[in-house]
Structure 1
Amino acid sequence: MHPTSTLGLTSLPNPGKALNSFGALLHRVPQSARALYGRACSLDRLAEVERSNSRLEQAIATYRSVIDMADEHPDQVPLPLLRLAAEKCIERMRFRGFMGKAVRVQQRLLQRFPDDISLRNQMGVTFLLMNQPAAAKDVFKEVLEKWPEDGFAQVHYGFVLKTTYNNNTGGIEYMQKGISSGAEGTQDGRFYFHLGDALQREGKTEEAYKLYDIGVEKGLFLSRYQRSLYNVDRLRSQPLWSQEETSYQEFFRKLEQNWLIIRKEGLEALALPPQDGFRPEAENLQDTGDWKQYEIFSRGRKITANCVKTPQTCALVESFKPAAGCKRGQVKFSVMYPGTHVHAHTGPTNCRLRAHLGLLVPEGLHLRVGETNQSWAEGRVIVFDDSWEHEVWHEGDSPRLILIVDVWHPELTEEERLSLSPI
């Protein structure tokens, strides 16, 4: 949905006619800030109707003209109108991906409204959208130095401490304060997700589950164990699946029939130099030990450079569209060494199921999914829903090697599979 639809611009029944009217008015009164703002709104609405980035960029430029007019002729632009034009300009810039430009507009606006907490907080959000968490942290820290009880800044500051700096203690402190404030923008599944995760990692499991249960009551999570945030809510939910329940049993049996070939290619990839082979787990899920992966498909796309080294495995996957085309999943070899513990965690979406084909399976391996336990066997495929909380222990004495294959949830329609955004 285009952002204009949430801000009252849908009240323009004929944006093309309105655009012409505001244009005529500006021809007569070039310094009319209200007419200029009306022109921006008309372009904004047209961008939504026409689904046009070009129109949206015209709207952004016109909102900026209102801001420029306020700098050049401050007496002609009432402050409430300036504020409204700037905020809409910032939101549209974010929507279009013009994050750097949005920050510059926010900085200009803060020169006019230096004590506006909301403006400062929103600049921090823009830095997060730009993947600049250090800059966001500085903004939220400055807000809290001046307004220490601001819940929005508290929860975002704690979020950055936890997710970027692995500071669970600080993250817990500030996210708890922010969520408890009930302030607008604090009741978000991401904050409940990461606060609970930090609590679990600090050994406060009971407290974490109480928080998750509150999240379920608020509609933020599907259940206390199924805490994925990018969901299609109607999909069947259970921690473990039989091959037959997935309707993909023929593909899984083909993997099982070829498991020795797949294992051979996995071991050959494992012998590659580090720069060409397996990479350390990169999602900060590992508590102890050593855990690496070799990715061959990601977000529905084949990683050609790696498939050259594992051609038969890639060919098997490529022959099955629900795996090769799963935009919300991966296919990868995974090696785990003795002494490894993977934190309890949940995947990002309920739109996929995760299959594991055992290739090297020593004794001493444990997988918990929700409240059920599972393990691996060489040459066998197990299937579970990784949007459910799961945890892994390797208490054996030799490496575990598996092939992980994500597949679309079987209840998704073809239209949904095509339209869902990649993860």
Structure 2
Amino acid sequence: MQDPSRILECARAALANGRPDVAEQHYLALLDRAPAHGEALAFVGMRMLRRGAAAQALPLLRDAHAAAPGDAAINENLGIALLRCGDHAAAERHLVAALNTEPRLHRARLMLGKLRETTGEQRQAAIEYQRAIANAQRLGIWLSPESTPRALRDEVLHAASYVRRYQRALVDEIVQPLRARHGSVALRRVEDCMAGYLRERTMAPDDPRQRPKTLFFPGLPAQPYLPLSAFPWLDHLRNEADAIREELIALRENGPDAFRPFLNFSHHAQVERHLRNTAGAAPAWDAFFFYRHGHRDDANHARCPRTSAALEACPLNRIRDQAPEICFSVLTPGTHILPHHGDTNSRVVVHLPLVIPPGCALNVGGERREWRESEPIVFDDTFEHEAWNRGNTDRIVLILDAWNPYLTEAERECLAALVPVLGDFERACQLTPRRR
């Protein structure tokens, strides 16, 4: 009789050589001699499950789980087998256990989405389906029918369709009353925008330099820099520039600790993807926030009352949890903000230059401009843009978000209602929530 250790060695060798069918025969032989062998139970159970024999796989996977209850792959396969056998409560326990151990098990996540759908949890089903698809696509699979395993193809296509239908329902629920109030014609561009966002229709900018990361609004003029004449309210901000600068200087002298990094990085490699420093020092892009992701910092407003009053007189685009974003932005000598694209052309970025040493510039869509103190610049950040300070002292501008001036009031109202709801869903689908 062949030694079990030798059989195990042959099974592993077959796997290493890409012969799972041969490996399965060895593992079956091993189970004849060692019925409680966890590795063999897990492998044979997994193979039966993939052949569609969930009921036959179930006892093997249960025994494998008893031998290794914390193994993510065993919990995943056992959860799938239980789901296919109709035991929803037990399937949930094991799928959740697998994902708690390894959150990026996209097949387990897909099955958890199916479970949520089966039990009528529509929102959670859509979230789990979207997480599963995003995780898989980051690994280069589930991008097309060809890159999706045949056994999962129908389920992946169903999941993608389910997510689109769920998002469409969210959009329709918000747009319908606004359509009744303003009329279909007034919201035609919003409807087109949403069709593009939901990938129901191809929507792309005419100018290839323009690449919004999140939301493209069609029918707006494509221009890297916008004319100041489109923003008559900027005259008031320009008139307050000296007072704002005085408060900035006092703040820097008395409260430098109030400034913090504009972007949050967990490790140095992330910094290098966004910032460089040509002067040999560490790059630094710091900010003093008046609004962050749409949330007002009352304490910071109180520290700069003239600036606060000037800002509150501006027609800011207010979107829950997202906009406006307003701050004193400090770029240290030698720091270069590398080329990147913004989220949406429905918003534009306003700079009020306050402290500008020689050697500082902004490049949007390949068009370079130098800041001049107290003279606003407005640009569409969905065009590739970058900024640098090649001077010897800090460059400081006041940054604020504004609506694209070519949106109508009805369109702004609709976007202000839609974007937070879509953003809530987007953030819920992220395993590690991020902010821009």
Alignment of 1:90-101 (within 5 A): none
Contact 1:328–1:352 (CA<8 Å) still a contact in 2? no
Inter-partner Cα distance in structure 2 for 1:182 and 1:328: 40
Q: From the superposition, tell whether residues 409 and 118 of structure 1 become closer, same or farther in structure 2 (CA, over 3 Å).
A: same
1:292-327 deviation digits (Å, cap 9, x = unpaired)? 111102344421011011111111111223356795
Which of residues 296, 303, 309 is equivalent to 2:303?
309
Could you say which residue in structure 2 is the equivalent of 1:198?
none
Could you say which residue in structure 1 is the equivalent of 2:95?
106
Which of residues 388, 398, 408 is equivalent to 2:383?
388
Q: Which amino acid aligns with 2:84?
A: L
Offset at residue 154 of structure 1 (A): 6.0
Contact 2:317–2:403 (CA<8 Å) still a contact in 1? yes
Q: Does 1:234 align with 2:193?
A: no
Could you say which residue in structure 2 is the equivalent of 1:183?
147
Q: From the superposition, tell whether residues 242 and 124 of structure 1 become closer, same or farther in structure 2 (CA, over 3 Å).
A: farther
Q: Does 1:119 align with 2:107?
A: yes
Aligned residues, how many? 257
Which of residues 280, 285, 288 is equivalent to 1:291?
285
Q: From the superposition, tell whether residues 347 and 182 of structure 1 become closer, same or farther in structure 2 (CA, over 3 Å).
A: farther
Aligned partner of residue 419 in structure 2, secondary structure:
coil
Q: Which amino acid aligns with 2:260?
A: R
Offset at residue 421 of structure 1 (A): 2.4
Inter-partner Cα distance in structure 2 for 1:353 and 1:333: 17
Inter-partner Cα distance in structure 2 for 1:411 and 1:310: 31
Contact 2:326–2:401 (CA<8 Å) still a contact in 1? yes
Contact 1:332–1:405 (CA<8 Å) still a contact in 2? yes
Inter-partner Cα distance in structure 2 for 1:357 and 1:242: 14
Inter-partner Cα distance in structure 1 for 2:363 and 2:298: 33
Deviates most, 392-401 or 317-326 = 317-326
Contact 1:297–1:324 (CA<8 Å) still a contact in 2? no
Could you say which residue in structure 2 is the equivalent of 1:359?
354
Question: Which one has a bigger Cα radius of gyration?
Answer: 2
1:97-133 deviation digits (Å, cap 9, x = unpaired)? xxxxx985733799xxxxxx852354899xxx99xxx
1:341-362 deviation digits (Å, cap 9, x = unpaired)? 1111111122211111111111
Contact 2:339–2:384 (CA<8 Å) still a contact in 1? yes
1:183-208 deviation digits (Å, cap 9, x = unpaired)? 3689x9xxxxxxxxxxxxxxxxxxxx
Q: From the superposition, tell whether residues 407 and 312 of structure 1 become closer, same or farther in structure 2 (CA, over 3 Å).
A: same
Contact 1:317–1:324 (CA<8 Å) still a contact in 2? no
Could you say which residue in structure 2 is the equivalent of 1:58?
none
Q: Does 1:266 align with 2:260?
A: no
Q: Which amino acid aligns with 1:240?
A: Y
Q: From the superposition, tell whether residues 269 and 181 of structure 1 become closer, same or farther in structure 2 (CA, over 3 Å).
A: farther
Q: Does 1:419 align with 2:417?
A: yes
Inter-partner Cα distance in structure 1 for 2:284 and 2:221: 34
Aligned partner of residue 96 in structure 2, secondary structure:
helix
Could you say which residue in structure 2 is the equivalent of 1:405?
400
Offset at residue 80 of structure 1 (A): 7.0
Could you say which residue in structure 1 is the equivalent of 2:73?
none
Could you say which residue in structure 2 is the equivalent of 1:21?
none
Over aligned residues, Cα RMSD in angstroms? Answer: 4.3
Could you say which residue in structure 2 is the equivalent of 1:95?
none
Q: From the superposition, tell whether residues 236 and 183 of structure 1 become closer, same or farther in structure 2 (CA, over 3 Å).
A: farther
Inter-partner Cα distance in structure 1 for 2:253 and 2:215: 36
Q: Which amino acid aligns with 1:243?
A: L
Which fold has the larger relative contact order, with Cα–Cα distance below 8 Å and residues 6 or more apart in sequence? 2
Contact 1:301–1:325 (CA<8 Å) still a contact in 2? no
Aligned partner of residue 316 in structure 2, secondary structure:
helix
Aligned partner of residue 308 in structure 1, secondary structure:
helix
Contact 1:323–1:408 (CA<8 Å) still a contact in 2? yes
Offset at residue 153 of structure 1 (A): 5.4
Unaligned stretches of 5+ residues in structure 2: 1-77, 100-104, 114-122, 125-130, 149-155, 161-198, 265-270, 278-282, 424-436
Inter-partner Cα distance in structure 2 for 1:239 and 1:261: 29
Which of residues 205, 227, 238 is equivalent to 1:256?
238
TM-score by length of 1: 0.51
Inter-partner Cα distance in structure 2 for 1:415 and 1:384: 22
Contact 1:328–1:351 (CA<8 Å) still a contact in 2? no
Q: From the superposition, tell whether residues 370 and 272 of structure 1 become closer, same or farther in structure 2 (CA, over 3 Å).
A: same
Offset at residue 418 of structure 1 (A): 3.1
Q: From the superposition, tell whether residues 324 and 303 of structure 1 become closer, same or farther in structure 2 (CA, over 3 Å).
A: farther
Aligned partner of residue 403 in structure 1, secondary structure:
strand
Unaligned stretches of 5+ residues in structure 1: 1-69, 87-101, 111-116, 131-138, 141-150, 158-174, 189-215
Offset at residue 393 of structure 1 (A): 1.8
Q: Does 1:344 align with 2:344?
A: no
Contact 2:92–2:112 (CA<8 Å) still a contact in 1? no
